[in-house]
Amino acid sequence: MAKLYFRYSTMNAGKSVEILKIAHNYEERGKFVVVLAPSIDDRYGIGKVTSRMGMSRSAVVISKNDDIEDILKLGLESRAIDCILVDESQFLTYEHIMQLVMIVDTHNVPVICYGLKSDFQGNLFEGSYHLLVYADSIEEVKTICWFCDRKAIFNMRTDENGEIVVDGDQIEIGGNDKYVPVCRKDFLSRFFSRERSGRESI
């Protein structure tokens, strides 16, 4: 039976590399893979899954009001889809997650979603929240803290001067220029110290 997978991590943990590797492994065996990417993520161009090591491939773009089942309908009717891979799944809506659930349960197609669990303030994204609720399998992709050797579980946002950002919109697209992965200890001490002083930088 197909399953809905949610594999989450902080920034810099290799999520995009995992997607590219899985897609390659399926296609090497003659399987048909569909890669999806939210339109909001435009760091390397819309409709691209790109790793920090430079590897890249095109993806089907998902916008806020799109129905994923409708987008994939032609593929599902003309050729069996063996796997669906989703990059930056934290940006999906509740409706998108339920559409993926229906694809798994109705068409028996495995769906593997990669994304962040929480934002720079430690709050869940909409897509992540509903994946944690509905996914059959939840796995953590691990990386280490920017400041120490502990496991990173938070994403710390910084500004152009390297100062820690504690307020702002939940979604602000960026990479190493705006985010660093940190452990709980460093997140709590530095985040709340920044809130109090307004001056701490990394």
Q: Give strand ranges (E) for the chain.
A: 4-9, 33-38, 48-50, 56-58, 60-62, 83-86, 111-116, 137-140, 154-157, 179-182
Active-site residue (options: 27, 28, 69, 88): 88
Instruction: Supply 151's token pair.
Output: 């496991």
Query: ∠ CA 85-118-67 to the nearest 5 degrees?
Result: 40
Annotation marks residue 88 as catalytic: yes
CA dist 29 and 36 (Å) reads: 20
CA dist 114 and 49 (Å) reads: 11
Residues belonging to the active site: 88
